[in-house]
Amino acid sequence: MIHIDGNTLTIETVTRVCLEGLRVTLDSSARARMKKSRAFVKKILKEGRTVYGITTGVGELANQLIPLKDVEKLQHNLLRSHATNVGSPLSENVVRGVMLLRANALAKGFSGVRIRLVETLLELLNKRVYPYIPCQGSVGASGDLSPLAHLGLVLTGEGECLLNGKRVPSRKILEDVGITPLSLQAKEGLALINGTQIMAALGCLVTTEASLLMKNAQVAGAMSLEALKGTSKAFDQKIHQVRPHSGQLRCAANMRKLVAGSSIIASHKNCEKVQDAYTLRCIPQVYGPMLEIIDYTRNVLEVEINSATDNPLVFPDEEEVISGGNFHGEPLAFVMDYLGIALAETGDISERTIDRLVNPHVSGLPPFLAHQSGLNSGFMISQYTAASLVSENKVLAHPASVDSIPTSAGQEDHVSMGSISARHAWDILHNVEYVLAIEMLTAAQGIDFQSLKPGKGTGAAHQIIRKYISHVHEDRPLYPDIEKVREMVVSGEIVSAVEKAIGPLK
């Protein structure tokens, strides 16, 4: 059971709730803060104050006063009018993250909502009720307004849920699981839709998977080094100590560990080759900064997932309600674009390595790693697939955060496009998983052509791949092999086998 209090959530916990379905409850400390905040909202209503989003319209309509008798209807209308997202639905894993993060933001006690609202949101989460949230339509300025409205509707018994991949009216689902729909009160509809939880949920998942992906990328690079009979001299600690970027140092140390004990590398220690191509020689200088970008992204997300991101915010101790811009998605838009670019570069260097492995003019290996080349095409077209994926990534890596289109009649005149940044990073990540799978397959085939043993780490990777996928002696459909290795990349099976052999990669 996970206890949320608005302040101590971690990316690891978010990921576990998303992927493992851990149950979540509201911590007692959060209840006390929320109770105080709600009491002040009630005082505002009793005194008849004019407060944005409570007794006024929103956006460009902020100057429209709302009669007290219509304050609750306003909150329902906000959800109905804002639920305009389109496209394919977010996956159940992502929706779980969205619900958790929205509940945690409200639990901070600066939103003025009832405890019951957060409890109902967590009840949906714990009973695996998944709101239907189409993925396109947020500009990431007043938070993820439109997609979060789809979530909010379900709390009131409106909107739709996903059940076994099909859209079902939410009221029926709520009845089936015994959840009573909420009748929203003042401030609650607005509090549900102002926030960055769509981009943050995607960000947590992408960042977690990217950490594992980069371990796989280093394993793949080391396997390729062995297959191409490269040298490990470029990973010498002395080189990296005189340019001591932390990621570069970590990556170089990983590469040394991966190929330690390699008979293949030792066999050509004094050969005539002067140096390796950049794709091999510069792995620490390319993958190292990517490790640092992941660390930076984690730091931003750790702050964001424990922040109050709606508007206005309620400060009961000072008896103030302040309208600001904590909902603006720029911090996440920037880091998701940054991470997407880094992931795209990971795919770029991997694809160039694949090309080097299959190219007989530079590899020293049979053409396209095929036996009886000509009769067999080997891995020729696998490189095409990788090239296609990295080309697609180059389009997806264009930073969405550099764009802005004013909304709400110019009241919201600068927007972040952060949910687009997050979705693109998500898509790039999955494309790179396939590229790395192809590199591992081709590298394993290349190692098979060597008569000597690879290093302890690369040998463990080669062995676990060969446990499931045999050497390609004659042409066969390769897509099942690619899918299988991609599964092993995502599950961490290859990295686990390697780390069991040589210890943790940094």
Residue 272 pLDDT greater than 70, yes or no: no
Torsion angle (degrees, nearest 10) of CA 459, 464, 465, 468 = 150
Helices 246-259 and 283-304 pack at an angle, to 10 degrees, of 120
**Residue 60 confidence (pLDDT):** 66
Question: pLDDT (tens digit, 9 = 90+) per residue, 78-102?
Answer: 999 999 999 999 999 999 999 999 9
Please determine whether the domains at 2-195 and 202-310+324-401+416-502 fall in the same fold group of CATH. Answer: no
Calculate ∠ Cα 156-161-167, nearest 5°. Answer: 135
In this prediction, residue 352 carries a pLDDT of 97
* HSE-up (13 A, CA, CB side) for residue 137: 18
Structural tokens at position 21: 């379905």
Q: Is the pLDDT of residue 408 over 70?
A: yes
- Is residue 139 exposed (0-12), middle (13-18) or buried (19+ Cβ within 10 Å)? buried
Strand-strand pairing, 320-322 and 313-315: antiparallel
- The predicted model gives 447-459 an average pLDDT of 95
- Give residue 342's pLDDT band: very low, low, confident or very high (50, 70, 90): very high
In the 8-state DSSP scheme, what is residue 474? S
Q: Is 338 a catalytic residue?
A: no
What average pLDDT does the segment 187-208 reach? 96
- Over range 292-306, report the average pLDDT: 97
Q: What are the φ/ψ torsions at residue 261 (nearest 5 degrees)? A: 85, 10
- The CA angle 349-367-381, to the nearest 5 degrees, is 60
CATH, domain range 2-195: 1.10.275.10
Contact 218, 287 (CB under 8 A): yes
- Of the candidates 486, 432, 495, which has an alpha carbon nearest to the alpha carbon of residue 464? 495
Summarised one tens digit per residue, pLDDT across range 111-136 is 999 999 999 999 999 999 999 999 99
41's CB contacts (< 8 A; 6+ apart) are: 54, 112, 186, 187, 314
pLDDT at residue 421, rounded to an integer: 97
What is the C-alpha separation between 254 and 231, in angstroms, rounded?
A: 15
pLDDT in tens, 148-181: 999 999 999 999 999 988 999 999 999 999 999 9
Cβ atoms of 391 and 435 within 8 Å: the answer is no
DSSP, res 86: E
Q: Where are the domains of the chain?
A: 2-195, 202-310+324-401+416-502
Element (H, E) at 131: strand 130-131
Alpha carbon distances (Å) from 294 to 206, 253, 304: 10, 18, 15
- Asked if 37 and 227 touch (Cβ cutoff 8 Å), the reply is no
Q: What is the mean pLDDT of residues 268-291?
A: 86
- At 166, give phi and psi (nearest 5°): -115, 150
CB atoms within 10 A of CB 214: 27
Name the CATH superfamily, with its identifier, for domain 202-310+324-401+416-502: Fumarase/aspartase (Central domain) (1.20.200.10)
Cα–Cα distance between 503 and 215 in angstroms, integer? Answer: 12
Share of the chain above pLDDT 90, in %: 84
Neighbours of 236 (CB within 10 A): 12
Specify the pTM.
0.95
Structure confidence at residue 271 as a pLDDT band (50, 70, 90):
low
Rounded Cα distance between 505 and 458, Å, is 13
Report how far residue 79's alpha carbon sits from residue 85's, in angstroms, rounded to the nearest whole number: 12
The mean pLDDT value of the chain amounts to 94
Instruction: Give the end-to-end CA distance of the chain in Å, rounded to a whole number.
Output: 30
The pLDDT tens digits of the residues spanning 10-37 come to 999 999 999 999 999 999 999 999 999 9
Residue 484 near residue 469 (C-beta atoms within 8 A) = yes
Q: Which of the residue ranges 52-66, 296-310, 438-452 would you say has the lowest mean pLDDT?
A: 52-66
Which two structure tokens, joined as six digits, stand for 31? 């209840």
